[in-house]
């Protein structure tokens, strides 16, 4: 393997990934889209297209889960407490 030890490969991979994704963001997939893309589409359907098949509780849950995933649970809870 030459000078490409597993630790060096992991370090290099982590550096590459850190430039592509915001810190704390895990690109979870929902229905073939990233979690954030799926959430934005749901918001658009509800607010712009007046899609009544999307309920307010469903939209609230999806928005909360997406924000917590992107921000991290602690930052999301702090944000909620400060926005009340």
pLDDT tens-digit map of 32-52 = 678 888 899 999 999 999 999
Quickly state the pLDDT bin for 61 (edges 50, 70, 90): very high
Whether the model pTM is above 0.75: no
DSSP, collapsed to helix, strand or coil, labels residue 46 as helix
What is the rounded CA–CA span in Å between residue 34 and residue 83? 26
67 in any annotated domain: yes
Distance CA 32, CA 37 (A): 10
- Which range marks the domain in which residue 43 is found? 27-83
Q: Tell me whether residue 12 is in a domain.
A: no
Count CB atoms within 10 A of the CB of residue 20. 8
38: in domain: yes
């Amino acid at each position: 393997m030459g000078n490409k030890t597993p630790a060096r490969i992991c370090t290099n991979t982590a550096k590459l990934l850190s430039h592509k994704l915001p810190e704390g963001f895990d690109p979870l997939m929902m229905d073939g889209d990233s979690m954030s893309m799926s959430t934005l589409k749901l918001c658009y359907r509800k607010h712009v297209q007046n899609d009544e098949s999307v309920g307010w509780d469903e939209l609230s849950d999806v928005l909360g889960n997406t924000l917590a995933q992107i921000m991290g649970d602690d930052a999301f809870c702090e944000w909620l407490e400060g926005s009340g």
